[in-house]
Chains A and B, each alone.
Chain A
Amino acid sequence: MPPSAAACPGCVAAPAQPVEEPVKPGRIALSLPGIHCQACISNVERILNSQPGVHSARVNLTLKRAMIDADADVQAAGLIPLLEAGGYEAHELDPGALRATQTDRAGRDLLMRLAVAGFASMNVMLLSVSVWSGAEDATRDMFHWISAAITLPAIAFSAQPFFRNAWSALRVRKLNMDVPIVLAIVLALVTSLWETALSGHHAYFDAAMALTFFLLAGRYLDHRTRAAARSAAEELAALEVPRALRQEDGAEVEVPVAALGVGDRILVRPGGRMPVDGIVVDGQSELDRSLLTGETVPVFAGAGQAVSAGEVNLTGPLTIEATAVGEDTSLHRMTDLVAIAESGRSNYTSLADKAAKLYAPGVHILSALSFLGWYMFTWDMRTALNIAAAVLIITCPCALGLAVPAVTTAASGRLFRKGMLIKDATALERLAAVDTVVFDKTGTLTAGAPELTNLADHGRRELEVALALAEVSSHPLSKSLTAAAREARITPAALTDVAEVPGYGTQASWNGRRVRLGRGAWVGAGEAQGTTAWLGIEGDAPRAFSFTDALRPGAEEAVAALTAAGYEVLLISGDTPHAVEGLAKRLGIAKWVAEALPSDKADRVRKLAEQGRHVLMVGDGLNDTAALAAAHVSISPASALDAARVASDIVLLGTDLSPIPESLTVAQRAVKRIRENFQIATVYNIIAVPLAVAGLATPLIAALAMSTSSITVSLNALRLR
Chain B
Amino acid sequence: MKSYFTKFYNWIDGRVDLSDLVEFMGKKYVPVHSHSMWYYFGGVSLFLFIIQVITGILLLLYYKGGPDLAFESIQFIMSKVQFGWLIRSIHSWAANLFILSAMIHMFSVYFEKAYRRPREITWLTGMFMFFLALGFGFSGYLLPWNELAFFATKVGTDIVGVIPLIGKPIMIFLRGGEDVTGATLSRMFGFHIAVFPGIFTVLLGIHLLLVQRQGMSEPFRTIEEPGWEKKTMPFFPNFLLRDLLLWLIVLNIIAILAVFFPWELGKKADAFAPAPAGIKPEWYFLFMFQTLKYIPGKIGFFDGEVLGIMLFSFAGLAWLVIPFWDRKSQRGEKNRLINYIGIFVIIYIIILTIIGWIF
Partners in one complex: no
**B residues engaging A (CB < 8 A)?**
none
**A residues engaging B (CB < 8 A)?**
none
